[in-house]
Structure 1
Amino acid sequence: MNNEETPSTSSNTGELLDGNHVEKANQSVEETSHSIETQSGFMYKRARMQGKHKSFYHRGLEDTDEMYSQISPYPFPMMMPTQNEEEEEDESLTEYELIPPYQMIAVRGVNGYHFDSSVLQVKGFAYFKDFPVESAEEISRSILVRKVLSTGEETEYKTVYEFEADAVESDDHAYEVTLDFGTMNDGHPLNSGQYELFIRLKQFIDERWIAQEFKIGKKESSTTDFSYSTKNQWYQPKTVSTYSFVAKQKLNSDAFVIYSTKLSEVDPASLIVDDEIVEEETKKIRANKRRFFRLVYKIFSKILPIKKNQVAFLSDARVDLTGNFEYIYDELKGRNSFLKPVFFLKKSINEPKTLREYVGLAKAIATSRYVLLDDFYPLIYPLEIRKGVDLIQVWHAVGAFKTFGFSRVGMQGGPKLSSKNHRNYSKAIVSSTKVIPNYAEGFGIDSKRILPLGAARTDMFFDETKKNTIKEQLFEEMPFLVGKKVILFAPTFRGNGQNTAYYPFNWLDYHKLYEQLAPQGFIFLFKIHPFVKNSPNIPYEYSDFFCDVSDYREVNDLLLLTDVMITDYSSVVFEYSLLRRKTIFFAPDLSDYMTTRNFYVDYLSFIPGPRVSDTVHLIEEIEDYTSVDQERLNAFLNYYFDDLDGHASKRFVDMLEDSIDEHVVDEEENEEYSEDGKWMPKWGENEGANSTINDYKNEEDNIK
């Protein structure tokens, strides 16, 4: 590895090459004869000359590293732990004799490499010439990731990771292995540095295990240098680190080199980008505005009467009328209700509000008979809701799956018991009596305040006319879906919350998914949780198969076109199950997720579909998408829905109207709509607050 060139920044994709390897015994003899004084041969001769040669153990010998430090400049520790250190192995499989190349000739090479983001797949071959393999149990191969410590006259290495390669059933000489440089370091990206790939070949010969270690080998049928580069991000609660990975192999070279470089480390809060945010607030300015908001709310609560027919819709998760709000409003409008809706909608919690908006919001909360929330709304939790006003949480999710709120006290990212979040709800709406205890615990409120009226947004699944209208609209917007079998990938986020949310897309093998499913007429849609900061890195050559539709706000609309859904721990499974189609649960990190987040029920007995943890089994379940366990699915639906009738919105509005005697009809309408046909009410529409805030127009500048 002397005179290595500067790492290439080429982004050419590594292609997987097919073809059978050819034994090149004469060439192998010539190559290995030059390496007697290097690698394992060098160590063997030095050890024998010093009288220290003996059989080496894969692990268990305390003096192995010490011996090597005495006999060789190559720090090849023979006690490297495998990925499953805790598993017990037969001593006969872990003991082996490391022999030099001149004693036995090893034939090895690489049929091809393939990269998906930071995940490398290697298909190769390695075997001892003239020693046939009688069974797969008699031969094994391990890929060693060795860090380059120095590149002088003799390159020094340190083995940092070892991965057992899988045998190929059809060829005793072949192997396959997958290496994920993005999670290799105990779930973190590979540390900065230069590395090379080696292979340890072991075979059971003459009643003992013998082994050789050497560089991974040349790439067969290659006509050019191989190079590939990508980036990977690692999310922590207070930092997001970006790494660059560059892999290269020169033509006719045995060395496969990886360069890992840490490019940046930033505060995740600085990564929040919103095109609609027109001002950037400091924490001090925002804190002052919120104190002003609470003061104005107290004043309005004391001097203004409650408007008995007013319903305020509050959300910091949407600017158009979607989800539960859409169906509640449609029910109010459809029955010409005397209840008067006013709207206060923002795209996200991080989008600033002006003083004018704070005043209008405070007035609405203080004077509306009903205040509706559909998600987490931290601005309202410190307030003492006045008598005669009901604060109702209609929640954006159905059922109760993963733990949330106060159910996560003591967990990483969970609230403190002293938190005021959620506790001031007058009522909360759920889909089933079975989940009332879960929501009472999560919201920290009495179970008597939780009403199983059903989720309004699920009414759509029982309205054939509306479903057909939505599907026609979607096909017009996304004509590439016409005639395709649609796969919807809709997982939840990883991380502790909005500022650190991410998804590890490297779990998916883009190449295998494309190669096996695209020819069958499938198309793969990504609908990623809105908190997630990173996006799927879709290779250009697969862009006719993968499509990111995460910007489409309403996931329920997309479900109507979906033939098979893939999720993990997301509550979207409740809505999709109403269509009685197959859901696949792709959960490679189930044990870790149970430790950090956990569930209200046993996961494996809860899910109404198969659970898989790798791409191979995922593909198998997708191909069998018409196979649905209807009995299990029906049991699931009956548990999480008290009423499967499409009248949740009606029950909710009935509840609102039954509490009021005064009937006032309001016929004002707003005709602004988003591109996908959703109504976009203005801030405080119909509420009349704007006429009361002239006195505060200039106060915002004073606060700043």
Structure 2
Amino acid sequence: MTKLIIDQVKYQRIILHIIGHVEDVDSLEGARFYLREQKQKRELDIEAVETEGNRFRLRVNVMELDGEYPIRTGKWYLRADIGDEKRLKDYVSDSVYDQVHMAVMDEIKINFVMDNNEGESWQGISALNTEDWTYYLDVTFIFPEQLTGFRKFTQQLKETVYRQYRSLATWGFHVAFNIFSNKPKKGNQVFFTSDRTNELAGNEKFVYERMLERGLGDKYVFKFSFKDGIKARRSFREKFRFTHDLATSDVIFTDDYQPELYKNEYDPDVKLVQLWHACGAFKTIGFERLGKKGAPMLLTKTHKNYTHVIVSSEHSARHNAEAFALSESKFYPVGIPRTDVFFDREYLERTAEKVRAHYPQISEAKKVILYAPTFRGNNARSASFPLQIINFHILGDFLRDKGYCMMIKLHPFVKSEIRIPQEYQDYFIDATDYPDINELLTVTDVLVTDYSSVIYEAALLNIPMLFFAFDLDNYNDDRGFYEPYEEIVPGKIVKTLRALVEAIGNEDYEAEKLQGFLTKNFRDLDGHSTDRVIDLIFGNDDGNSLA
């Protein structure tokens, strides 16, 4: 008799892992796993399925499974279609029975409860049906009333009348967008936009310039709109042009959170591509922060309308799918375009010469150390860094004895001044104002950081790393990591300045962790990520595809 057995259930943030096996079956190839709500007779397909022989592992993102929104209230049973067997019921192992029914406590989290101060709450409780001892997820989702029809119209109209200019402008944006979007599209307009910078930069610049190199400038019409930060304001003319280009474009590229993109409904053929600026899966963001400051509303539309999200690996896809509460099917691990330069030897040599010319003392140093910590605080307004942790006398004496040089680059959010004592100015460089940290990496022999995502770029250059995590417990409580910090970082962790000096002096970097880190976070290491992005979005009929 074919039986579906659940061997383990556990939550990891908003991901419910269900692990088990199916008796009297040799292979689960082609099997369909889903949650079924018995009263409503609704079924939610589980896409993240891993199988090996008769064993399975399911990853259920409870915040996106129901049409990319949280699973609605109900009793959701696990079911499977395997060959001719339909709606195969689940049974539980003795360990799951003990956990769920007998309330045997251990380190495994089997329930998830989330409340916030906006009138929203969601809880998913693991339970057993005492009639047949089958497992189900008992979900209660409470959210503010969603107005519809005429009531929704009058409420929106009332809010519009009393809002200030910004709200009125938002309403006008919607109207203008809907008008412009009714114009027939030509199928060849590409729109690059960002709220991170006031010019074409980063991943978007790599994609655009490579398209021109491949001769696609004759086939496509390019539009651009940038502003230097979310709080920056466009002029009326710029707003008009932005709205028009957004509504009439066939492909839209962005590289970060950009609020205007989430306020509209796009034609089904429009591709909205997120070229996320960061690599890898390090700190928690978005829905990974539920219950913490900065977490999103459960019914948020932010990030929900992407058609393609470009990431560096399957591991990164899982992280961002959880963070955005999006289906993993929208994530494409084809690589981050801006990392292509790390495989260009001529670029690396040319850039290193540029940095040495900017900081002449680098050329005299036996070894160059880059100290690049991230900021503390919740945002740019509250950002800080405890500069007192840098004991220039201890570090300076060490650098002088060794003939080393240390560049210090604080996060751009941190506005504190670095005051290097006169006696050590030949051994320290304040590189905070240098515009591109990736260029500094081209002359770096050792990277010292803490929780900065620069580790991904440094790994591509095989730079040994040390992690000066003097406040790890506090940072973890405040910000949190996608996985345990000790399992993420590709180098030795030190918590005191003397331990840092000792590790540098002994070249004790635990560099053996680096290869596993690269394998986990980068599917391809060939310098052709930009071409794969172009092939994915536009096809490869220009004859220059690497696919």
TM-score, length of structure 1 as denominator length = 0.51
- 8 Å contact 2:464–2:511 — kept in the other structure? no
1:285 Cα deviation from its structure 2 partner: 4.3
Q: 3-state DSSP class of the match of 2:381?
A: helix
1:635 Cα deviation from its structure 2 partner: 1.0
State the identity as a percent. Answer: 39
State the one-letter code of the partner of 1:645. D
Q: 3-state DSSP class of the match of 2:288?
A: helix
Change beyond 3 A, Cα 1:358–1:540: farther
Deviations 1:328-376 (A, max 9, x none): 1231121111333332222222322111111111112111211111122
Change beyond 3 A, Cα 1:624–1:328: farther
- 8 Å contact 2:252–2:271 — kept in the other structure? yes
Deviations 1:364-410 (A, max 9, x none): 21112111111221232222233322111111111101111111121
Change beyond 3 A, Cα 1:301–1:539: farther
**Paired residue for 1:80?**
none
| Aligned partner of 2:397 among 494, 515, 523 | 515
User: Does structure 1 residue 311 correspond to structure 2 residue 203?
Assistant: no
**C-alpha distance in 1 between matches for 2:511 and 2:397:** 30
**Paired residue for 1:297?**
177
Q: 3-state DSSP class of the match of 1:290?
A: helix
Q: Which runs of 5+ in 2 are unaligned?
A: 1-162, 543-547
**Paired residue for 1:326?**
205
1:628 Cα deviation from its structure 2 partner: 4.8
**Paired residue for 1:40?**
none
**C-alpha distance in 2 between matches for 1:423 and 1:531:** 28
Deviations 1:1-29 (A, max 9, x none): xxxxxxxxxxxxxxxxxxxxxxxxxxxxx
**C-alpha distance in 1 between matches for 2:455 and 2:174:** 38
- 8 Å contact 1:467–1:560 — kept in the other structure? yes
Deviations 1:586-620 (A, max 9, x none): 11111112212211112112211011112111112
Deviations 1:222-244 (A, max 9, x none): xxxxxxxxxxxxxxxxxxxxxxx
**C-alpha distance in 1 between matches for 2:184 and 2:431:** 45
Deviations 1:506-532 (A, max 9, x none): 222122111221342322222222233
1:469 Cα deviation from its structure 2 partner: 1.8
**C-alpha distance in 2 between matches for 1:408 and 1:583:** 27
Change beyond 3 A, Cα 1:352–1:403: same
Change beyond 3 A, Cα 1:538–1:359: farther
User: Does structure 1 residue 418 correspond to structure 2 residue 299?
Assistant: yes
1:654 Cα deviation from its structure 2 partner: 0.9
- 8 Å contact 1:410–1:416 — kept in the other structure? no
User: Does structure 1 residue 459 correspond to structure 2 residue 340?
Assistant: yes
User: Does structure 1 residue 638 correspond to structure 2 residue 519?
Assistant: yes
1:541 Cα deviation from its structure 2 partner: 4.6
Change beyond 3 A, Cα 1:373–1:615: same
**Paired residue for 2:131?**
none
List aligned pairs for 1:615-654, cutoff 5 A: 615-625=497-507, 627-654=508-535
State the one-letter code of the partner of 1:508. I
State the one-letter code of the partner of 1:308. G
Q: 3-state DSSP class of the match of 1:639?
A: helix
**C-alpha distance in 2 between matches for 1:306 and 1:491:** 46
1:622 Cα deviation from its structure 2 partner: 2.5
State the one-letter code of the partner of 2:169. K
- 8 Å contact 2:190–2:249 — kept in the other structure? yes
**C-alpha distance in 1 between matches for 2:473 and 2:413:** 22
**C-alpha distance in 2 between matches for 1:607 and 1:525:** 21
**C-alpha distance in 2 between matches for 1:497 and 1:588:** 21
Change beyond 3 A, Cα 1:373–1:544: same
Q: Which runs of 5+ in 1 are unaligned?
A: 1-282, 664-704
State the one-letter code of the partner of 2:282. F
User: Does structure 1 residue 602 correspond to structure 2 residue 445?
Assistant: no
1:623 Cα deviation from its structure 2 partner: 2.6
- 8 Å contact 2:180–2:244 — kept in the other structure? yes
**C-alpha distance in 2 between matches for 1:435 and 1:604:** 18
| Aligned partner of 1:404 among 285, 289, 297 | 285
**C-alpha distance in 2 between matches for 1:459 and 1:435:** 18
**Paired residue for 1:336?**
215
**C-alpha distance in 2 between matches for 1:552 and 1:345:** 22
**C-alpha distance in 1 between matches for 2:192 and 2:397:** 47
- 8 Å contact 2:287–2:295 — kept in the other structure? yes
| Aligned partner of 1:502 among 364, 384, 393 | 384
| Aligned partner of 2:312 among 422, 431, 446 | 431
**C-alpha distance in 1 between matches for 2:267 and 2:180:** 10
State the one-letter code of the partner of 1:342. K
List aligned pairs for 1:647-666, cutoff 5 A: 647-658=528-539
User: Which structure has the greater CA radius of gyration?
Assistant: 1
Deviations 1:264-298 (A, max 9, x none): xxxxxxxxxxxxxxxxxxx9444443333333222
| Aligned partner of 1:567 among 449, 456, 459 | 449
1:480 Cα deviation from its structure 2 partner: 3.3
| Aligned partner of 1:555 among 430, 437, 462 | 437
Q: CA RMSD in A?
A: 2.2
Deviations 1:477-528 (A, max 9, x none): 3333223232212222211123222222222212211122134232222222
**C-alpha distance in 2 between matches for 1:286 and 1:550:** 35
1:554 Cα deviation from its structure 2 partner: 2.3
Change beyond 3 A, Cα 1:287–1:564: farther
**C-alpha distance in 1 between matches for 2:354 and 2:465:** 24
User: Does structure 1 residue 588 correspond to structure 2 residue 470?
Assistant: yes
**C-alpha distance in 2 between matches for 1:386 and 1:463:** 39
1:412 Cα deviation from its structure 2 partner: 1.9
Deviations 1:201-251 (A, max 9, x none): xxxxxxxxxxxxxxxxxxxxxxxxxxxxxxxxxxxxxxxxxxxxxxxxxxx
Change beyond 3 A, Cα 1:616–1:307: farther
**Paired residue for 2:323?**
442
List aligned pairs for 1:219-258, cutoff 5 A: none
Q: 3-state DSSP class of the match of 2:189?
A: strand
State the one-letter code of the partner of 1:343. F
Deviations 1:448-491 (A, max 9, x none): 10111111111111111111122222223333322323221222
1:643 Cα deviation from its structure 2 partner: 0.7
Change beyond 3 A, Cα 1:418–1:493: farther
**Paired residue for 1:151?**
none
Change beyond 3 A, Cα 1:488–1:286: farther
**C-alpha distance in 2 between matches for 1:394 and 1:566:** 27
- 8 Å contact 2:254–2:274 — kept in the other structure? yes
Q: 3-state DSSP class of the match of 1:528?
A: coil
- 8 Å contact 2:503–2:509 — kept in the other structure? no
State the one-letter code of the partner of 2:396. Y
**C-alpha distance in 1 between matches for 2:500 and 2:446:** 11
User: Does structure 1 residue 369 correspond to structure 2 residue 277?
Assistant: no
Change beyond 3 A, Cα 1:537–1:316: farther
**C-alpha distance in 1 between matches for 2:495 and 2:381:** 27
Change beyond 3 A, Cα 1:374–1:535: farther
1:645 Cα deviation from its structure 2 partner: 0.9
Q: 3-state DSSP class of the match of 1:401?
A: coil
**C-alpha distance in 1 between matches for 2:274 and 2:175:** 24
Change beyond 3 A, Cα 1:343–1:645: same
1:307 Cα deviation from its structure 2 partner: 4.0
Change beyond 3 A, Cα 1:478–1:658: same
**Paired residue for 1:346?**
227
- 8 Å contact 1:491–1:568 — kept in the other structure? yes
**C-alpha distance in 2 between matches for 1:508 and 1:295:** 54
Deviations 1:648-685 (A, max 9, x none): 011001112219x8x9xxxxxxxxxxxxxxxxxxxxxx
Change beyond 3 A, Cα 1:604–1:547: same
**C-alpha distance in 1 between matches for 2:524 and 2:270:** 28
Change beyond 3 A, Cα 1:530–1:487: same
